[in-house]
Amino acid sequence: METITHAAIRQSGRYSRLKIEGLSMELLRGLYRGMVRLRRCEEALMVQYRVADEIRCPVHFTIGQEAVPAALGLLLRKDDFLYSHHRCHGYFLAKDAPMGALFAELFGRTTGANGGLAGSQEISMPSHNFFSGAILSGALSLAAGSAFAFQYKGDDRVALAGFGEAATEEGIFWEALSYASVRKLPLVYICENNLYSMYSAQVNRQPADDLSKRVQAFGVRTFTLFGNDPVAAYEALREAIEYARKGGGPCFLEFYTYRINAHVGPESDDYINYRPADEIEFWKSNDPIALFEERLDHAGLLGRSERELIVAEIDEEIDEAFQFARNSPMPADVDLEALSRSCESPFAERHLPLSSVGDFDETQPVAVLAPY
């Protein structure tokens, strides 16, 4: 596969380049655990979504796209900033934010990451430097601002943003890319190209499946990869994050992947017939967890019983997260108007005296504007 595109990936058949030789057990375990944790978490939420009608917000599940968040989770520092979009559970967990706070947020409880005020698609966790929002591309431009702040302060922190290929159809993406390149900002953009924006294929929306090439024209370093290979994702992300952290400038990574579940909600949306059945089958046969397990089996590493132990541990965490959410109170008597605006100015109060009204002379002339 010379040039990576969705067509080239289909043409070259089932992926066979996943290499785990020479990697530490800790890394293999971490990647496996990260992917399975996200998968089990999403599957459990899908099952519970309708049961008692406890999750009453749009949820964009991410089955099939586990490799990138799992790899990212092993590379981020706590003080790095990570921005995400509506399909954000993988990124939330990658930032080491607690699963209980995620579930409670979906359940609209006070113990949710945002007290139940944001829901799945807009969840944030400022204590973990994790932020997301549902308006496409908005968050990636915030990341540029945080990267600006890190550079200004001389920190070696990195700002990252995850998004889909459709986010690049907004003008702000290119504004941010241009600015990040001019200023050499410590910024890492992670584009998960999953071929569809809701029900519209990339080919209907973009002139060609060559996003990385277009990004290169801005002088930004790019990485283009098959996105269901967690090892390749890990290595590319590591290189990009280090490059940005050391002052090399922004990086753009494009991971070719596929969303197996519906755009939104737990039920399938394939009744709309927006994607061919053989395409779905192709990507199911390239499931990142299955590909990885195959390689592990082949190499005789992380055997079945060890994997079962990991899964059991994860399932216990999921059970606890559900219990935590269900046992937490619903918000009540929240003063929404007070919460919308901070009326406190502690810094200003400390440093500045109050002044009331000046002595304005109303008889003076208003400006007569010169040409300008």
Site residues (vs another protein, CB under 8 A): 81, 114-115, 117-118, 122, 124, 126-127, 131, 133, 135, 138, 141-150, 152-153, 159, 171-172, 175-176, 178-179, 182, 336-337, 339-348, 351-364, 366-372
Q: How far is the CB of 253 from another protein (least distance, A)?
A: 20
Q: How far is the CB of 72 from another protein (least distance, A)?
A: 19
Sign of CA dihedral 93, 255, 77, 139: negative
Q: How far is the CB of 285 from another protein (least distance, A)?
A: 39
In the complex with another protein, the residue whose CB is nearer, 48 or 121, is 121
DSSP 121: T
Distances (CA, A) of 151 to 299, 351, 359: 43, 27, 43
Strand partners, 84: 132
Distances (CA, A) of 2 to 7, 9, 55, 224, 225: 12, 10, 44, 11, 11
In the complex with another protein, the residue whose CB is nearer, 152 or 271, is 152
List, in sequence order, the alpha helices (H) in 218-285.
230-245, 277-284
* CA terminus-to-terminus distance, the chain: 58
Q: How far is the CB of 371 from another protein (least distance, A)?
A: 6
In the complex with another protein, the residue whose CB is nearer, 14 or 351, is 351
Distance between CA atoms of 125 and 139, rounded to whole angstroms? 14
Strand partners, 243: none
In the complex with another protein, the residue whose CB is nearer, 51 or 343, is 343
Q: How far is the CB of 96 from another protein (least distance, A)?
A: 17
In the complex with another protein, the residue whose CB is nearer, 11 or 355, is 355
Distances (CA, A) of 335 to 105, 211, 331, 338: 19, 45, 11, 5
Strand partners, 301: none
In the complex with another protein, the residue whose CB is nearer, 183 or 275, is 183
Q: How far is the CB of 280 from another protein (least distance, A)?
A: 33
Structure tokens at 142: 């915030």
